[in-house]
Amino acid sequence: MSSIEATTDEANPIDRAAAHWVARAMRGLDAEERAEFDAWRGADPRHGGSYVRALAIARLAAAPASESLVREPGEAGPAGEGAGPSRRRVLQWAAAACVPGTIGAGSLYHILGNRTSTARGEIRNIALADGSTAVLNTNSSIAVSMRAKRRTVDLLEGEAWFDVAHDPARPFEVRSGELVVRAVGTAFKVRSLPEGTHVVVTEGTVAIHRAASVEAPIRLTAGRQLSFARGTMVEASLTGAQVEQQLAWRQGLIILDGQTLDVAVAEFNRYNELKLEVIGGKLASQRVYGTFRARDPEALAKAVTIAIGVRMNREDLKIILL
């Protein structure tokens, strides 16, 4: 057993599989193995995050001066001892493994106790110093503080999904407005809204409390969401399809399943300079369905014109639905 695989012996099956794939990639994969890896990676959104953590372990285990960390499956390194892809190439591939198909996912970013942000339409994959991963949605910003006894992320604006590395001795907290979301080893999404905060748990359990409150925290398990607004917390269960809808942005998608047109337009406008505008209250209340690329507002506009029979006018950086 390699040292990488040994580090995850006590971890869950996904982490063990991720360590196994990193170890195999270090030896080099043929075309058949690469196809097997791609199938594993795409089978569950957690697989990419676990792979990035295993990759971080591999980097720590590698010799400091070595550039020969992990070879991309199917990529042959230059001839000679220690030959292999550069660190930059390895990190680019790791980002793609983490969240395939996301908007602007060209590299894996590392932050150590500082702030990082995304621009409109950008989705960024981030490897945190503790082995956790974060994915930032459009127009989002976080500040990270990693200390000996606590890991803290401030969601300053926007939306982020976290896959937390298991470390019971160092609680992982995400702070958004008045809320504090605390986890040990789990995955969850937090969105900061003008009226409050929205949390969705995709794996494990989190404890949520108000920063200024002495009330007992609320425990939120996988497949449940919590909305906090005007001092009130409201919990609800989600179906698998609803969870997928909540996280579709990580693949650069917007899934609409009966949302009103004005809600759909607001969602598209988060990602694009080309804005959508709806004129008419009756039209704005129409329900819309479908899966769209977040960066293609014109596709929604065309779908609405066909389905509902409205007019579409284009004015510079605006599409008006009448």
Backbone angles phi, psi at 208, to 5 degrees: -120, 130
Return the pLDDT at 144. Answer: 92
Asked if 259 and 278 touch (Cβ cutoff 8 Å), the reply is no
Strand ranges inside the chain, DSSP E: 108-111, 115-117, 124-128, 133-136, 141-146, 151-157, 159-163, 172-176, 179-183, 187-193, 196-203, 205-210, 218-221, 224-229, 232-237, 253-260, 275-278, 287-293, 312-315, 318-321
Return the pLDDT at 48. Answer: 75
Return the pLDDT at 172. Answer: 95
Return the pLDDT at 231. Answer: 85
Provide the residue-wise pLDDT of the chain in tens; the chain has 322 residues: 333 333 333 346 787 787 777 767 766 677 787 888 888 888 887 787 777 766 665 554 443 433 333 333 444 433 333 334 444 333 333 333 333 333 433 344 545 447 899 999 999 998 888 889 999 999 999 999 988 899 999 999 999 999 999 898 999 999 999 999 999 779 999 999 999 999 999 999 999 999 887 788 999 999 999 999 988 999 999 999 899 999 999 999 999 888 999 999 999 999 999 999 999 888 899 988 888 999 999 999 988 888 888 889 888 889 998 8
Please give the single-letter amino acid code of residue 114. N
Q: How many helices and strands (H and E) does the chain possess?
A: 9, 20
Return the pLDDT at 230. Answer: 87
Return the pLDDT at 101. Answer: 36
Asked if 247 and 237 touch (Cβ cutoff 8 Å), the reply is no
Asked if 112 and 126 touch (Cβ cutoff 8 Å), the reply is no
Q: Which residue has the tokens 């917390």?
A: 233
Nearest-CA neighbor of 137 among 35, 276, 254? Answer: 254
What's the gap between Cα 290 and its chain centre? Answer: 21
Measured between alpha carbons, how far is residue 185 from residues 85, 131, 133 in Å? 31, 11, 11
HSE-CB for 320 with a 13 A CA cutoff: 7
Pairing of strands 179-183, 196-203: unpaired
Give the Cα separation of 205 and 243 in Å (integer). Answer: 15
Give the Cα separation of 155 and 178 in Å (integer). Answer: 11
- Domains, in order of start, for the chain: 3-98 (no CATH), 108-243 (2.60.120.1440), 252-321 (3.55.50.30)
Measured between alpha carbons, how far is residue 148 from residues 162, 169, 176, 183, 200 in Å? 20, 9, 22, 16, 27
Return the pLDDT at 99. Answer: 38
Please give the single-letter amino acid code of residue 47. H
- Three-point CA angle 178, 192, 98, nearest 5°: 125
Return the pLDDT at 175. Answer: 95
Asked if 300 and 276 touch (Cβ cutoff 8 Å), the reply is yes
